[in-house]
Structure 1
Amino acid sequence: MSKAQQIYVRMAHVHEAFGIHKATAYRAAQRGELTIYKRGVMSFLKVAEVEQWIEKGVKAA
């Protein structure tokens, strides 16, 4: 059985998952480019949204 694909990633682990600093993700959220989901004291990002945001930035460069 294959490992289940991750749907959300915690902000604390965004660097490990995508190689971007969490401050970069927070700035993108402030600009309305990403959505941060809160559950109690934890903050999450949707993996698909971050991947789309990264790909959009790569195509623009």
Structure 2
Amino acid sequence: MAKKAKKIVRREYTAADVKQLRAHSKAKTPVAKIAKQMKRTEGSLRQKAIKLGIPLGHVR
């Protein structure tokens, strides 16, 4: 029997989520750590950061 595909559940970013993301950006917290804390994917966080125009993680 084939495995059932996991249903994608999309959650909107609240004002509190954006505020938390900005704080992590300023603190240069690793994206993997932010993802676990906020229960979102790294890709989702990176895309939101791009839309907000803020850097995320560190720059090599």
User: What is the TM-score when the length of structure 1 is the normalising length?
Assistant: 0.39
| Bigger CA radius of gyration | 2
Higher strand residue share: 1
